[in-house]
Chains A and B, each alone.
Chain A
């Protein structure tokens, strides 16, 4: 990596809680692929331009292998543990390249196809209605995160996977610990071990007595053509549970706050719910809550944008920066529900693009439509600027959203 005289620290702070770090825009204008310094002192390339983000994420020479010694680590971690093949997370599709990635992803894609997700609509509507019933019975004020944002996606993914919802207390807490940037390395790995231990027991029980759920179907399918061993199944289960609830929960909280802050747009969505899918794409673009899960490492020299990324160099492809590229999305700081934002990269791009994205879209659509229809007087009890935003988490969001009506 040449010319690294100035390599700002990564991650960068936000000035406005609803906007990405301001430094992304200045870097994009000057050096859309720029050297940065990670928390552990490692140099990495930060990619802030939409076109380059798409190109690199789709490039087979760009690896997701987190056990690679040069893979960039956004939060303080333990490289030895990241490379340990006995840790279930290191065996998941998220951390593997093709062909291993291909086989693992193919084992579950039918469960998340557009048609299968649409078949879940009535049940998701029922879950959302039950949460809103409970809110109305409570009468408020209450914390929307605990009443709606977390329960809806947690219930949906628990039912899909066959995870008892009664166990949510521990897995929600451990997920939070794993994703919290202020957790110590020991705390984070201990929480991850507890999640894996829990899933190990659950997978073992399902191996003995399969039920009617995703994990059981996966176990049965795997018996016919073995591609996954027990630890692979545990890793897959943990990954799907974690990715399936925390991300959508944060998008629900941020989306509700954003719409409450924009009464004209909210009124328009109430009268024209057909606009919701497009508005949701715009919210996904605007918040891009999983900014750095798209970190990568180059497996070969790659020429792009007038520079050469060398083999073994680290890449942080910041989707929150790419999705605010003003050459692609004019006035990116404006949340415009009439914009066609469909080509955002909030779900990533390339072979690792989010497996559950269509489920997330459907949950968001049902939640926003139902909540604002059934509780039209919903409002925040504190100014939006004063909410506790998750500056301390690997997945952005809000810790608590106090509301009343």
Chain B
């Protein structure tokens, strides 16, 4: 699983952080940052949930 984030699309809703706090964070501008581009297998469901919940389509996955 590899995560791509598009910060230009991010609207800072923070849904990714709520879904997968060990993988996503918000930087000083409130925009998405990825803490690990290759998250461990046990985070996979949380990361998929983050993708689904992101309102602006800023996160995508290559599985």
Measuring CB to CB, which residues of chain A are less than 8 angstroms from any residue of chain B? 57-58, 102, 105-106, 109-115, 342-343, 348-351, 353-355, 357-358
Contacts and interface: CB of A to CB of B under 8 A. Distances in A.
The 7 A-B residue pairs with the shortest CB-CB distance in the complex, in nearest-first order: A109-B12, A109-B30, A353-B55, A110-B30, A114-B14, A114-B17, A113-B26
B28 A110 contact: yes
Nearest to A357: B13
11 contacts: A109-B11, A109-B31, A110-B28, A110-B29, A113-B17, A115-B26, A342-B19, A348-B55, A353-B13, A357-B13, A358-B14
Interface of B: 11-14, 17-19, 21, 26, 28-31, 49, 52-53, 55-57
Contacts of B18: 114, 358
B14 A58 contact: no
B12 A112 contact: yes
Nearest to A102: B11
A11 B53 CA distance: 28
A106 B28 CA distance: 11
A69 B19 CA distance: 39
Given A113-B30, A343-B53, A351-B56, 4 more contacts: A105-B11, A113-B14, A348-B55, A355-B13
Contacts of A343: 52-53
A109 B29 contact: yes
Nearest to A358: B14
A58 B57 contact: yes
A114 B14 CA distance: 6
A340 B57 CA distance: 21
Contact of A114 (B26, B52, B53): B26
Contact of B12 (A106, A342, A349): A106
Contacts of A113: 12, 14, 17, 26, 30
B49 to A, nearest CB: 7
A231 B21 CA distance: 37
A350 B13 CA distance: 10
B52 to A, nearest CB: 6
Given A58-B55, A58-B57, A109-B30, A353 B14 contact: no
A324 to B, nearest CB: 19
A351 B15 CA distance: 12
Nearest to B8: A102
Contacts of B30: 106, 109-113
Contacts of A57: 55
B20 to A, nearest CB: 12
Nearest to A348: B55
B53 A342 contact: yes
A342 B26 CA distance: 20
Contacts of A358: 14, 18
Nearest to A353: B55
B21 to A, nearest CB: 8
A326 B13 CA distance: 26
Given A106-B12, A109-B11, A351 B55 contact: yes
Contacts of B11: 102, 105, 109, 351, 353
Given A113-B30, A353-B11, A342 B55 contact: no
Contacts of A349: 55
A357 B12 CA distance: 11
Contacts of A348: 55
